[in-house]
Amino acid sequence: MTGPIREVYDVTGMTCDHCVRAVTMEVMALPGVRSVDVDLASGAVTIESEAILDREQVRNAVDEAGYALT
């Protein structure tokens, strides 16, 4: 059995804790996501999941939260 997959994405436009919560909520809703850690200062979003995520699904989740995946 393998451990979770960890991927890091860069997100622009986040400026506050509300932004962090919005991105976290949308990304956590993706199938297979185990955890989401958002670093507001750098814009890095670290996602642990059961399998490699489709980048477009992640992009759509971030877009739905109101921000942009770079």
- What is the domain class of 5-69 according to CATH? alpha beta
How much is the pTM?
0.93
The C-alpha atoms of residue 20 and residue 14 are separated, in whole angstroms, by 7
Q: What is the pLDDT of residues 42-53, one digit of tens each?
A: 999 999 999 999
Q: What is the pLDDT of residues 27-67, one digit of tens each?
A: 999 999 999 999 999 999 999 999 999 999 999 999 999 99
Selection from 30, 48, 29, 52 nearest residue 38 by Cα: 48
